[in-house]
Amino acid sequence: MKKLFAAAFLVALTTSGNAATAGQCQDDVAKIDALLTANSLDTEQRAQLEDMRNQAVQLCGAGNEEEGLAVTAEAKATFNIE
């Protein structure tokens, strides 16, 4: 019984962590999208940011949230996105 409870707790903990991370991916991508729609970037900057955004979306969508968040963190730092 204790093993079953411990296993259920670990599954719940892991699932809630993934949901929070996935939510952070979505929030970061939304911030990147806001900058892309602001039209304040030159062509090269826009291409770089779109590439980073697309990488993050692919990684987060494939379940690699940690890597996706690393890409969004780099984009946010590079383009001063808060």
**∠ CA 17-80-50 to the nearest 5 degrees?**
75
Reading the block at residue 58, the tokens are 């692919």
What pTM value is reported for the model?
Answer: 0.74
pLDDT at res. 8: 41
**What length does the chain have?**
82
Rounded Cα–Cα distance for residues 18 and 38 (Å): 30
Rounded Cα–Cα distance for residues 11 and 15 (Å): 6
Burial class (CB in 10 A: 0-12, 13-18, 19+), 60: buried
Ordered by start, the domain boundaries in the chain are 19-78
Question: Per-residue confidence of the chain (82 residues) as pLDDT tens digits?
Answer: 444 443 343 344 344 445 567 799 999 999 999 999 998 999 999 999 999 999 999 999 999 999 999 999 999 999 999 9
pLDDT at res. 39: 85
